[in-house]
Structure 1
């Protein structure tokens, strides 16, 4: 039983003719006849009787047709409501994201949201967590996707709303040709003798600096804002890197085996909190609607 069959029996009842119904619905008479026959077999009721005077409903069929029309009316109500809701959201959202979520989570959210609410203008920026938070405080950004630190949490808590989206772990990324590729876990000290390519962000710099006193200097090949360049260098065995498991979800290099991910067991914090941050007040209705899509996609991406 499906919606098309409801349309077919409603149209045949209206026209009293399979041929006229087929013409109206732009399908063949055979297709309508076969579909109605399958429906009648499924429910065990003859809906129509056919004669030289035309196609008319049986007494039992009248009840089925009435329900079918009620279903079609409800479907039209849903479409009208969806159209109303779509047109009721307008304006502009400025969304800023760290690279991890810019690559993995944001694209599917943007596509679905824009499809449902075409009157909303979306502007996207890819920057670091600190810059995102500052942008929201300055009213330059509406919604931010960040890695939440204790410092940021304390600074933002009074004027911003912060909600958890995903939890991640830190991994060392190495080429399949690297001597580290066979390891099942690594510690920070294991990285000292290897060239590192690091994402150019405050969190990464602070992390590396925090280990200099106890472990010594790291061999930093370079830093870059380009996450794809990092993965390319790792895949070609030019360097190793540190990336979260969230950033590597569905990644082609990992999927093809060109990059091997190894847990970094003494990275602090042990759990990395990916969060959404937005101002208290502001474009409340539009922001809340986008958050619905964001949270739903995050559940699909990495179920808790």
Structure 2
């Protein structure tokens, strides 16, 4: 079995058409058909059912496709690892992050890193808490920023970079807008604008409200941070957000107020896999991040 045959097979499976796959691969259709035929002969099974000019996978072909894609991905990862050992300054790093650090924390870190390592490239993927933790475990991303930090997951190594408080974001027309701080129970009768069920930022806020002695009324939900801020700006509700999401990004018509009771805060950190070593480029970035925040924490 040759690597070329696996690549040809996967491309035909994707296109469900030999001539289209051949065009994508820039090979003659006859050569493509011959290699797939040799693969089927070696395996002793038919991978495709022919339907005129189109093809579709047989049941065993579907199972083989799943494993073939895993094998090809593993080979790509191994090749990238070798390339990065030879030239760690030219690697590609897949970074996951939540929306709550997208506007300030992440751009600042990457900008500082690129000044010292301009040729390292990044693939950035934003996602939910579960997406970030599972993405690391499944090798879909290499490192991830996350908050709060999962400190007890057996498959992840986590470093806490900093802790931050949540602030109440309210319309400037709100009766509490002139207060220097507030107790969370003072928002008991307000409508809340929060992330949907399953988002960790929602859970933090709801748990804090329960601690303050009430169940929040949540008629408005949104997955986009700016949309949530915009709804508060329009005057239809209030929300609680981590402080870093409000740095230099306060929507017009809103006020942020410190919460005096209960204490609402979260940790923010970086997670990496426990079950595999980082590539040279990934390690370079990981150590840079730790050192970057170590220096910040010394001065705060």
Match of 1:108 in 2: 108
Match of 2:261 in 1: 266
2:190 is equivalent to residue 190 of structure 1: no
Question: Cα offset for 1:214?
Answer: 7.6
The TM-score, its normalising length taken from structure 2, stands at 0.61
The TM-score, its normalising length taken from structure 1, stands at 0.60
Give the RMSD, CA atoms, in angstroms.
3.0
Match of 2:96 in 1: 96
Question: Greater CA radius of gyration, 1 or 2?
Answer: 1
Match of 2:162 in 1: 166
Match of 1:282 among 277, 283, 289: 277
Tell me if structure 2 keeps the 8 A contact 1:86–1:117.
Answer: no
**C-alpha separation between the residues in 2 aligned to 1:112 and 1:100?**
19
Q: 1:265 to 1:130 in 2, by over 3 A?
A: farther
Q: 1:167 to 1:240 in 2, by over 3 A?
A: same
**C-alpha separation between the residues in 2 aligned to 1:173 and 1:213?**
19
Question: Cα offset for 1:91?
Answer: 2.9
For structure 2, list consecutive stretches of 5 or more residues without a partner in the other structure. 1-84
Tell me if structure 2 keeps the 8 A contact 1:105–1:298.
Answer: no
How many residue pairs get aligned? The number is 212
1:34-77 C-alpha deviation (Å, 9 max, x unpaired): xxxxxxxxxxxxxxxxxxxxxxxxxxxxxxxxxxxxxxxxxxxx
Match of 1:203 in 2: 200
**C-alpha separation between the residues in 1 aligned to 2:291 and 2:179?**
35
Match of 1:294 in 2: 289
Question: Cα offset for 1:291?
Answer: 2.6
- Equivalent runs, 1:1-304 vs 2, <5 Å: 88-114=88-114, 116-148=116-148, 152-154=150-152, 156=153, 158-200=154-196, 202-210=199-207, 211=209, 215-253=213-251, 258-267=253-262, 270-280=264-274, 281-295=276-290, 298=293, 303-304=299-300
Tell me if structure 2 keeps the 8 A contact 1:174–1:240.
Answer: yes
Tell me if structure 1 keeps the 8 A contact 2:95–2:123.
Answer: yes
Question: Cα offset for 1:252?
Answer: 4.3
**C-alpha separation between the residues in 2 aligned to 1:103 and 1:296?**
21
What SS class does the counterpart of residue 246 from structure 2 fall into?
coil
Question: Cα offset for 1:202?
Answer: 2.7
Q: 1:214 to 1:260 in 2, by over 3 A?
A: closer
